[in-house]
Amino acid sequence: MTAALEAVAVSRTFTSGAGPVHAVVEASLSVAPGELVALAGKSGSGKTTLLNLMGGLDEPTSGQVLVDGVDLAGLGQAELLALRRTHITFVFQSFGLLPELTAQENVEVPLRLLRVPARERADRVAAALDAVGLTRHARQTPAQLSGGQLQRVGVARAVVAEPAVLLADEPTGQLDSTTGLEIMALLQDLTHRRGMATLVATHDPLLLRDADRVLEIHDGRLRTAGRHRLQN
């Protein structure tokens, strides 16, 4: 199966007064449609930098990042923005919701950017909120929701535009362990049912059990950690 998301010998080096900082070093990985890959590593290991590279938010110093076979380096800014709106989505540790909007309105934002017709928007938002178990909370604002509910809204917003790739950076970092496991299980379920290629960065070993594969990153270097989810 062709990878939906792929990195080929990707490196990212930053300059500093003390000399070059090699945040990511010749990282190669691929994620297939319907697969959830966990990227495990401590703070400062290079997880966030690699996710930013995979999502086109940063440019590699060397190597290639491909989304559905398209090399991001070959795209202009307008093309890259369009690709991020239609093919790539993000789930953030800090939820990233607009506080003045309801849960329903927050989930609707990506569809408005894509100029999806109002009736279709309403149907897709309702389906996304139902998928994360928040139909009854659609009209509540972020201030009226718990941390777990806030992240469920974030997940619904991420999947409502039916992306090919989902990138999650410490999506359970602000949640208790029980709620964190629920969010990870939700991401796994949506990944498999919707056929997304999902890459989740985490430092929590408890969350690795719901991944199809686990990669470890240390000082910017990747290695395979193994398969943690039992296969039927």
The yes-or-no verdict on residue 84 having pLDDT over 50 is: yes
Q: How far apart are the first and last CA of the chain?
A: 20
From residue 61, give the alpha-carbon distance in Å to each of 16, 24, 83: 15, 9, 21
Phi and psi (nearest 5°) for 191?
A: -60, -50
- Percentage of the chain modeled with pLDDT above 90: 81
C-alpha to C-alpha distance for 176 and 25, rounded to whole angstroms: 32
- Percentage of the chain modeled with pLDDT above 70: 96
Phi and psi (nearest 5°) for 222?
A: -90, 150
C-alpha to C-alpha distance for 58 and 79, rounded to whole angstroms: 15
State the amino acid at position 29 in one-letter form.
L
Catalogue all structural domains in the chain, each as residue range(s) with its CATH number: 32-52+75-226 (3.40.50.300)
The yes-or-no verdict on residue 136 having pLDDT over 70 is: yes
* 141-179 pLDDT tens trace: 999 999 999 999 999 999 999 999 999 999 998 899 999
The yes-or-no verdict on residue 228 having pLDDT over 60 is: no
pTM of the model: 0.91
